[in-house]
Amino acid sequence: MTETKQIIHPDKDRFLGDENPFEQMMSRFDVAASLLKLDPGLYKVLRNPEKQVIVSLPVMMDSGETEVFTGYRVLYNTSRGPAKGGIRFDLGVTLDEVRALAAWMTWKCAVVNIPFGGSKGGVICDPLSMSPGELERLTRRYTASLIAILGPDSDVPAPDVNTNERVMAWIMDTYSMHKRHTVTSVVTGKPLEMGGSAGRREATGRGCMIMAREALAHLGRSLKGSKVVVQGFGNVGSIAAQLLQQEGAVVVGVSDVSGGLYREGGLDVNDVIAWREAHRYVAGYPKADPVKNEEFLTLPCDVLLPAALENQITKRNAADIKAKVIIEGANGPTAAAADEILDRKGVFVVPDILANAGGVTVSYFEWVQDRDGYFWTEEVVNQRLEEIMVRSFRHVLEMSQKHQVNMRIGAYTLAIQRVAAVHKLRGMYA
What confidence category does residue 6 fall into, taking pLDDT thresholds of 50, 70 and 90?
Answer: very low
The predicted model gives 403-420 an average pLDDT of: 98
> What backbone phi and psi angles, to 5 degrees, belong to 151?
155, 155
Please list, in sequence order, all residues whose beta carbon lies within 8 angstroms of the beta carbon of residue 236, skipping any fewer than 6 positions away: 204, 205, 208, 307, 329, 330, 356, 359
CA 199 from chain center: how many Å? Answer: 17
Q: How far is the first Cα of the chain from the last one, in angstroms, to the nearest whole number?
A: 50
What confidence category does residue 19 fall into, taking pLDDT thresholds of 50, 70 and 90?
Answer: low
Which pLDDT value is given to residue 428? 85
The answer to whether 362 and 192 have CB atoms below 8 angstroms apart is no
**What does the pLDDT look like over 229-273, one tens digit per residue?**
999 999 999 999 999 999 999 999 999 999 999 999 999 999 999
Question: CA 308 to CA 232: how far, in whole Å?
Answer: 4
Which pLDDT value is given to residue 18? 52
Residue 421: CB atoms within 10 A of its CB come to: 13
Which among 27, 17, 23 has a CA at the least distance from the CA of 409? Answer: 27
Run of H or E including 256: strand 250-256
Give how far Cα 268 sits from Cα of 251, 261, 262, Å.
8, 11, 11
What confidence category does residue 5 fall into, taking pLDDT thresholds of 50, 70 and 90?
Answer: very low
Does the pLDDT value for residue 3 go beyond 80?
A: no
The predicted model gives 308-325 an average pLDDT of: 94
Does the pLDDT value for residue 368 go beyond 80?
A: yes
Question: CA 316 to CA 326: how far, in whole Å?
Answer: 17
Which pLDDT value is given to residue 402? 97
What integer best gives the mean pLDDT of the chain? 94
Range of weakest confidence among 67-76, 377-386, 421-430 = 421-430
Which pLDDT value is given to residue 17? 43
Bridging pattern class, strands 66-77 and 4-6: parallel
The DSSP-derived string for 57-91 is: EEEE-TTS-EEEEEEEEEEEE-TTSSEEEEEEE-T
The answer to whether 7 and 70 have CB atoms below 8 angstroms apart is yes
CA 15 from chain center: how many Å? Answer: 18
The predicted model gives 170-184 an average pLDDT of: 98
Which pLDDT value is given to residue 13? 37
The DSSP-derived string for 332-401 is: S-B-HHHHHHHHHHT-EEE-HHHHTTHHHHHHHHHHHHHHHT----HHHHHHHHHHHHHHHHHHHHHHHH
Which pLDDT value is given to residue 20? 83
Percent of the chain's residues with pLDDT above 90: 92
**What does the pLDDT look like over 62-85, one tens digit per residue?**
999 999 999 999 999 999 999 999
Question: CA 11 to CA 147: how far, in whole Å?
Answer: 29
The answer to whether 123 and 145 have CB atoms below 8 angstroms apart is no
**What does the pLDDT look like over 286-314, one tens digit per residue?**
999 999 999 999 999 999 999 998 889 99
The answer to whether residue 120 is catalytic is yes
- Selecting among 108, 120, 190, 227, the annotated active-site residue is 120
Does the pLDDT value for residue 109 go beyond 50?
A: yes
Q: What share of the chain is helix, strand, coil (3-state, %, to 5)?
A: 50, 20, 35
Question: CA 422 to CA 93: how far, in whole Å?
Answer: 31
In the chain, the domains with their CATH numbers are 4-184 (3.40.50.10860), 201-355 (3.40.50.720)
**What does the pLDDT look like over 21-68, one tens digit per residue?**
888 889 999 999 999 999 999 999 999 999 999 999 999 999 999 999
